[in-house]
Structure 1
Amino acid sequence: MSRIDELLADVEAHLKDGVLQVKEASEKGRPIVGTYCTFAPWELITAAGAIPATLCARGEDPITAAEEHLPRNLCPLIKSSYGYALTDKCPYFHFCDMVIAESTCDGKKKMYELMSRMKPLHLMMLPQTAEGDVARSAWRSELDRLKARLEDAFSVTIDDEAISKRIALRNRERMALNSLWELSRLDPPAITGREQFLISEYCEFHFHKEELVPWLGNLVYQIREAYDQGERRVGKDAPRILITGCPLGGAQKVIHAIEDAGAVVVCYENCGGVKELGFLVDEDRPPMEALTDKYLNVGCSVMTPNTSRMDNLKNLIESYNVDGVVEVVLQACHTYAVETYEVRELVRSTGRPYMSVETDYSKSDIGQLATRIGAFLEML
């Protein structure tokens, strides 16, 4: 077993440690706040003394139960989210004291009405544009409203000093993650896209961030050292692919299809990845003002116009020396589906080929995906 294999085997062995961490924290009386989206401000939640835990929304199994309450022609992410909560098969939902929801789409917004019957739920009303003083003022009001709800729910006072400390810690984690993603800028990349996804997943569900940040820095150092000493995990001629679009948790089959066909995923411009974590909060500004601007500019497809996503996507294509772009759209995700036209235009303007994949969480299209992606890669 190579040095990097040993490092990654250790990561995989501890991938589910987050469940135990949340259980132990809950038993000690620490509040657990469930979240679904990158618009939920991590820094405010932790400044209240709570642990933000990403709730389950990535599996096919609970969808049948969800369809007893929800329409079948709904996005699989929404049905999975609700199904896990309904069947109590998500440990993070089980232990959480509150859910922070967000009005990123009509389907989720209405689903949250049903979910609020199971747990206390706070819905953040997201402006539909990131541009202008009206949108910024509205989003600042939502952050203030969330702050007040957290203070009331957990009997705490959240001051600027507490928020600033959390901003600094989260920024350190973002910088450590950026150093991980930098490994894929190398030619060839130091790790595969699957391996990058694995490490990112581990980091998302590790709730002791003070321990995580130096651990991740050391992991990246050891991988880079092994790479510099000649260890190669990706062929020199492997096409370099950027994946964009909807969250990939339940659609990892797309990553597998790409890499099984001989390419390598070097960058993820999806929810939960570089779209939010790639950008720092300005530590030199008043903390609530800085958080307002940071989270309002997440390049989600619900925003109109979505200039943040398009600008970031163009930069990532160039900086990762991408050979092609694959966009993943979950069935019935209308905003991302409509935005594929603009993304396709942008990608082709850079001289790179583009393909869009519409899928769900089932395994029924794995063969079709392999065929389509294989044909796409042959064009590169």
Structure 2
Amino acid sequence: MELRKELPEVFEEFAEARKNSFLAIKKIKDAGTPIVGVFCTYLPREIANAMGAAVVGLCSVSDETIPDAEKDLPRNLCPLIKSSYGFARTDKCPFFYFSDLVVGETTCDGKKKMYEMLAEFKSVHVVQLPNSQTEDGYELYRKELIRFKEVLEEKFEIKITEEAIAKEIKKRNGINRALTRLQYTMAQDPAPVMGLDIINTVYGSGFQMNTDTLEETIDAVTDKIEKEYQEGKNIGKRPRILVTGSPSGGAALKVIRAIEENGGVVVCFENCTGMKPLAEVDEENPDVYDALSRKYLSIGCSCMSPNKARMELLEKLIKDFKVDAVVDLVLQACHTYNVETAMVKKLVKDKMGIPYTVVETDYSQADVGQIQTRMAAFIEML
């Protein structure tokens, strides 16, 4: 067995993807390509991609612009909302600056009100999201997706065909299969690499502008990991942690670092930067809008009530990845995820019989020492 110590070169391209995409976005804009900014995994990128638009993620994960945001927004608001608004307000994010249309979705009350303020200085369209995964909900969301398509057609003076959407569905399914395969390399014990490398790769893939070759690029990463694992390269035996909870990335990765710097390894990310949004769209469904509605609305976000899909996915992932413990990462003032901690704890501790803890944090670095101490004690207990 060879213990892996260095950052594998295979991850470097994805780790730099967000920075590189800042440089690429102006070239795309100058070439006349429409740019659509989105916030959430509930919004099907396939529809905007079908008209040839570049789709960029807008959720910001830094505290840099939060003081600017707090000039308009309350301090006791979710840091993701404040950060996103702050970057738009200050023009410090090229994605916001160059977006021809910003698309929001009604996942939480804070976001809904923020979109109203954002619309004062950006072109904004809000997709109304049902709060339950029922047949009525699927039909409502199907109509919203058609309305979204019509908004794009009117704004950009272009026709979006169902054939073009079906082509993008197939492409996105391939990308999601590749991302799933990559993350499932961590089901091996001992784990082949550190979890931070995997999540940076998955997160970075969302900023790759050329989606035509993205599936092959991700598969190449997975092929290399599997080849080196067969040659005996891995990180050695460590307690295996699953991370669930609020959307995480950027500054929130301090929790992942604390887990792994204190002897654990994050083998699975259930949240929306990980496994949560990777189910495939039914390519056999002749109604592309119904197919998209059913796939995307099935995502187990805490804004859904009831949220059975999250609990079912968590139970499956705990088994598949041979998890030793679960860490629930909750952003401050993210009320729906905070309320669900009681339900997750019941599943993890009472039903699955494994340790569980909650970490509530924001995007500042003020609590890094406290988180390090807590995660060290938690890993030691395991």
1:369 lines up with 2:371 in the alignment = yes
Letter in 2 for 1:176: A
Give 1:4 deviation, angstroms: 6.7
TM-score w.r.t. length of structure 2: 0.95
- The match for 1:46 among 49, 66, 80 is 49
Q: Which residue in the other structure is 1:175 paired with?
A: 177
State the match for 2:60 in structure 1. 57
Evaluate the alpha carbon distance shift between residue 309 and residue 161 of structure 1 in structure 2; reply closer, same or farther with a 3 A threshold.
same
**What residue in structure 1 maps to residue 116 of structure 2?**
113
CA–CA distance in structure 2, aligned partners of residues 124 and 365 of structure 1: 35
Going from structure 1 to structure 2, the CA distance change for 1:272 and 1:54 (only over 3 Å counts) comes to: same
Q: Which residue of the other structure, out of 35, 38, 52, is the alignment partner of 1:32? A: 35
Structure 1 stretch 101-110 or stretch 265-274: which is displaced more? Answer: 265-274
SS of the counterpart of 2:148? helix
When structure 1 is superposed on structure 2, of 9-18 and 106-115 the one drifting more is 9-18
Matched with 1:337 is 338
Give 1:43 deviation, angstroms.
0.7
Match runs of 1:262-277 below 5 Å: 262-277=263-278
1:16 is aligned to 2:19: yes
Alignment of 1:213-228 (within 5 A): 213-228=215-230
Q: Which stretches of structure 1, 4 residues or more, deviate above 6 A after TM superposition?
A: 1-4
Q: Which residue does the alignment assign to 1:313?
A: 314
Uncovered stretches (5+) of structure 2, i.e. residues with no partner: none
Question: Could you tell me whether the CA contact under 8 Å between 2:248 and 2:273 is conserved in 1?
Answer: no
Report Cα offsets for 1:4-24 as digits up to 9, x if no partner.
723234444555222233221
CA RMSD of aligned residues (A): 1.5
Partner Cα separation in structure 2 for residue 296 and residue 118 of structure 1: 29
Given residue 221 of structure 2, which amino acid in structure 1 is its aligned partner?
A: L
**Are 2:132 and 1:129 aligned?**
yes
Matched, 1:139 2:141: yes
Shift of 1:104: 0.6
Q: TM-score, normalised by structure 1?
A: 0.96
Q: Is the 8 A contact 2:199 2:273 kept in 1?
A: no
Residue 166 of structure 2: aligned partner: 164
**Native 8 Å contact 2:17 2:207 kept in 1:** no
1:297 equivalent to 2:298? Answer yes
**What do the CA deviations read for 1:59-96 (whole angstroms, capped 9, x no partner)?**
00100000000000101001000000011111111111
Gaps of 5+ in 1: none
Distance 2:268 2:153 in 1: 38
Q: Provide the secondary structure at the position in 1 that maps to 2:316.
A: helix
Q: Partner residue of 1:153?
A: 155
Give the 5 Å matches for 1:204-219: 204-219=206-221
Identity %: 46
